[in-house]
Amino acid sequence: MLESATRMQRIAPFYVMDLLAKARQIEASGRTVIHMEIGEPDFATPQPIIDAGINALNAGQTHYTPALGLPALRAAIAGYYHSHYSTVVEPANVIVTPGSSGALQLAITVLVNPGDEVLLTDPGYPCNKHFVQLAGGVAKFINLSQDNNYALSLAAVKAQWTDKTKVIMLASPANPTGMTIQQEVLQAIADFARSKNAFLIVDEIYQGLEYGARLKTLAGQFDNVFVINSFSKFFCMTGWRVGWLVSPSAFVNDIDKLAQNIFLAAPTLAQHAALQAFEAASLAILEGYRQAFQARRDYLYNALQELGFGLSEKPAGAFYIYANSEHFSADSYQFCFDLLEQAGVAITPGKDFSQTHPEKFVRFAYTREIPQLEEGIARLKSFISAE
Amino acid sequence: MLESATRMQRIAPFYVMDLLAKARQIEASGRTVIHMEIGEPDFATPQPIIDAGINALNAGQTHYTPALGLPALRAAIAGYYHSHYSTVVEPANVIVTPGSSGALQLAITVLVNPGDEVLLTDPGYPCNKHFVQLAGGVAKFINLSQDNNYALSLAAVKAQWTDKTKVIMLASPANPTGMTIQQEVLQAIADFARSKNAFLIVDEIYQGLEYGARLKTLAGQFDNVFVINSFSKFFCMTGWRVGWLVSPSAFVNDIDKLAQNIFLAAPTLAQHAALQAFEAASLAILEGYRQAFQARRDYLYNALQELGFGLSEKPAGAFYIYANSEHFSADSYQFCFDLLEQAGVAITPGKDFSQTHPEKFVRFAYTREIPQLEEGIARLKSFISAE
């Protein structure tokens, strides 16, 4: 018998992919589907960034860059930390990666030994546990509660900490909850991890998509903190595949040799285009997008609350609402399928984000315009009423 | 103490990077360097492919593709196997990846369990052993000999085979030797591996860059063979980061979920541009490049032979000549540094490709025009005479 590696049995697919396949069938049959499952902005990449891509192509920028990224882009990212966060990050600590996926893989691979424990949140981004597993690490979960607005505390971290804990991974704003973590809490966790000779990886890829107070960053301030970011979400550059990692100085050489071996480099064209992302013309467009996301959030949050979904406080970031669907179904995965089949509305089941209570939750993404969200809510309302 | 994972001590950087840093110093001081170390074509991406990239940008193709790639590109790659190799490969078995690096990582991660042995060639592509190690596998080497033109035999494979061998990885044409493996030998190795419930991964990324008989492919013909390819080398699309993997059907679902988790997808723009790579206009340009490489090979091979380097028979593919430098130095790494510092010629030390006899060999890349190669040879000649 030809057998794949045993790890493959422990790697879950994105369950939403099953829903997407079903959605394509429905659409092929001529019915419409309202897509509220999609984890990427519907907005186009801002035109100045696209123009920069075209200019780079016309200039023949098609060869490899250094493994750590174009020096000019590393400097531009450092400059963004200075201008937008008033934080000093050295270009030498900025590593340009193929999407934040690349950054996650680099950070985890450089830190996690087989058998090391890595603390993650439940609910959380589904890929993290797989990156941990690929490095031979053991994912352990800190359960966050909707009743408590998915707040994370140092006490909760300490409660899960063992002698084997090497890394804790957190996201702010977080997928799927849209919640943010207070800077003081993050700093306290970083300090605690430091006292244990352990590391904090902070996923800041939804930063910029904030609807209240501007978030701060942990980049450049701790010798045990890695910050992950990306041009995908706030900058609307998903398909370009370019993100970044801010690493403490002591690990840059290791990351360099790892990046040389596993990626060679991030896409050249995307790096040249991303240089334009921090310019005023792009940022002005992105601010318009941010305001549109905020209006969608406000609409969707109120609508879901009226329908009877269990909600946390209004999420302060990202473009997701994680909702308790127990009132309508004891099995959120089945609920998602029935909703799609009977009403043509696609949302993501909790199974993609949680080990603890997947059956109680669903994720709505507001990555569609309000008229579409309204149609989705109307369909959802009929579906629920008919149940 | 904050410590990185112990695997990092076993991951080597590309030693040529040290030479590149030195080369940049030399160039910054105003001296010229003849670059014969670079493993990517100097040629620009063919204009029809660039134009397709620009069109895709203008059409707003900036969102994610499916993890396995754009369906149209998977079909186009399958079509290329049909038109150029008269081989049937189903689009469903073609997985588009972020460069061949992505394809290598997928194939090895899906197959190799911790403790499994993976047979590689020495000399060979340096990243392969690191991908094996990241999966917890153990790299074992089959030593190839210049005296024998780096030929590989089934007997040599059998001699290194143990009960733990799960995969053998081969490349044709190979980096750094430029040698090809006879189709009958590859088939016999695939059959032998099949009899052991083991796998063969064939790196065909230099295919197309062939200077004798057209090579065949193993794609689509065995249920235990994975074929790696790329748009980087023959198609001159290095910086676009797009390659592919042809997988047996039984492993496509596993690869899909792995790709979803570790990459999300290959760059969208590069995939749209690559659609144009198989069109007649692009292939005509690429044929011109191939002929130019052949002329460079002929020039460089004869020149190195005249200078007294130890050579195998003339390499049939890729754009490298792997040369024995023992006649000039007992330490090829030092030889490379001295040559660079004293004569301004950059080549790659054997240390990047070999565990067995790194000190005896250097790699020359003919990725520069003949006048530059001539200048490099003139400098090399003076350097050798002065020693």
Closest partner residue to A4 (CB to CB) among B64, B251, B267 is B251
Q: What is the CATH number of domain B61-279?
A: 3.40.640.10
Give the integer Cα–Cα distance in Å for A247 and A227: 7
Residue A238: burial class (beta carbons within 10 Å; 0-12, 13-18, 19+) = buried
pLDDT at A21: 85
Q: Residues A64, A58: contact at Cβ < 8 Å?
A: no
A chain contacts of residue B263, beta-carbon cutoff 8 Å: 98-99, 101, 241
Best mutation target among A262, A276, A282 (most B Cβ atoms within 10 Å) is A262
A chain contacts of residue B167, beta-carbon cutoff 8 Å: none
B chain contacts of residue A11, beta-carbon cutoff 8 Å: 254, 257-258, 261
Say what percent of chain B tops pLDDT 70.
100
Closest partner residue to B240 (CB to CB) among A1, A110, A267 is A267
Instruction: Quick: pLDDT tens for A233-292.
Output: 999 999 999 999 999 999 999 999 999 999 999 999 999 999 999 999 999 999 999 999
- The dihedral through the CA atoms of A221, A225, A231, A235 has a sign that is negative
Given CB atoms, is B276 within the 8 Å cutoff of chain A? no
* Longest Cα separation, chain B: 60
pLDDT at A231: 98
Give domain A60-278's CATH number out of 1.20.910.10, 3.30.450.20, 3.40.640.10, 2.40.110.20: 3.40.640.10
Instruction: Quick: pLDDT tens for A356-367.
Output: 999 999 999 999
Given CB atoms, is A3 within the 8 Å cutoff of chain B? yes
Closest partner residue to B11 (CB to CB) among A62, A127, A261 is A261
* Longest Cα separation, chain A: 60
Question: What is the least distance, in Å, from the CA of A306 to any CA of chain B?
Answer: 33
The CATH fold assigned to A6-44+282-386 is: Aspartate Aminotransferase, domain 1 (3.90.1150)
Best mutation target among A15, A105, A261 (most B Cβ atoms within 10 Å) is A261
Residues within 8 A of A (CB atoms), B 86-105 only: 98-99, 101, 105
Instruction: Quick: pLDDT tens for A11-66.
Output: 988 888 888 889 989 999 999 999 999 899 999 999 999 999 999 999 999 999 99
Check B135 against A5: CB less than 8 A apart: yes
Given CB atoms, is B46 within the 8 Å cutoff of chain A? no
Given CB atoms, is B24 within the 8 Å cutoff of chain A? no
Residue A248, phi then psi, degrees to nearest 5: -60, 150
Q: Residues A273, B270: contact at Cβ < 8 Å?
A: no
Given CB atoms, is B61 within the 8 Å cutoff of chain A? yes
Check B63 against A53: CB less than 8 A apart: no
B17, pLDDT greater than 90: no
Question: What is the least distance, in Å, from the CA of A254 to any CA of chain B?
Answer: 7
Given CB atoms, is A195 within the 8 Å cutoff of chain B? no
Check A7 against B109: CB less than 8 A apart: yes
Give the residue from chain A lying closest to B253, CA to CA: A13
B19, pLDDT greater than 80: yes
Residue B77, phi then psi, degrees to nearest 5: -65, -45
Q: Give ipTM to 2 decimals.
A: 0.95
Instruction: Quick: pLDDT tens for B340-352.
Output: 999 999 999 999 9
pLDDT at B20: 86
Half-sphere exposure in the Cβ direction for A7 (13 Å, CA): 27
Say what percent of chain A tops pLDDT 90.
95
Q: Residues A3, B250: contact at Cβ < 8 Å?
A: no
Closest partner residue to A101 (CB to CB) among B61, B223, B263 is B263
pLDDT at A14: 85
> At A317, is the secondary structure helix, strand, or coil?
strand
Mean pLDDT on A122-128: 95
Residues within 8 A of A (CB atoms), B 94-153 only: 98-99, 101, 105, 109-114, 116, 126-127, 130-131, 134-136
Residues within 8 A of B (CB atoms), A 282-341 only: none
> At A114, is the secondary structure helix, strand, or coil?
coil
Calculate the CA B22 to chain-centre distance. 24
Closest partner residue to B61 (CB to CB) among A197, A237, A239 is A239
Check A112 against B5: CB less than 8 A apart: yes
Mean pLDDT on A117-129: 96
Q: Could you tell me the strand order of the sheet in which B225-230 lies? A: B94-97, B243-246, B225-230, B199-203, B165-171, B117-122, B138-143
Residue A171, phi then psi, degrees to nearest 5: -130, 140
Give the integer Cα–Cα distance in Å for A302 and A307: 9
> At B262, is the secondary structure helix, strand, or coil?
helix
B chain contacts of residue A134, beta-carbon cutoff 8 Å: 109, 134-135, 262
Instruction: Quick: pLDDT tens for A163-185.
Output: 999 999 999 999 999 999 999 99
pLDDT at B21: 85
Q: Residues A164, A116: contact at Cβ < 8 Å?
A: yes
pTM of the entire structure? 0.96
> At A56, is the secondary structure helix, strand, or coil?
helix
Mean pLDDT in chain A?
A: 96
pLDDT at A345: 98
Residues within 8 A of A (CB atoms), B 234-263 only: 236-241, 248, 250-251, 253-254, 256-258, 260-263
Check A44 against B62: CB less than 8 A apart: yes
The domain spans of chain A are 6-44+282-386, 60-278
Given CB atoms, is B175 within the 8 Å cutoff of chain A? no
Half-sphere exposure in the Cβ direction for B233 (13 Å, CA): 27
Check A260 against B111: CB less than 8 A apart: no
Instruction: Quick: pLDDT tens for B151-192.
Output: 999 999 999 999 999 999 999 999 999 999 999 999 999 999
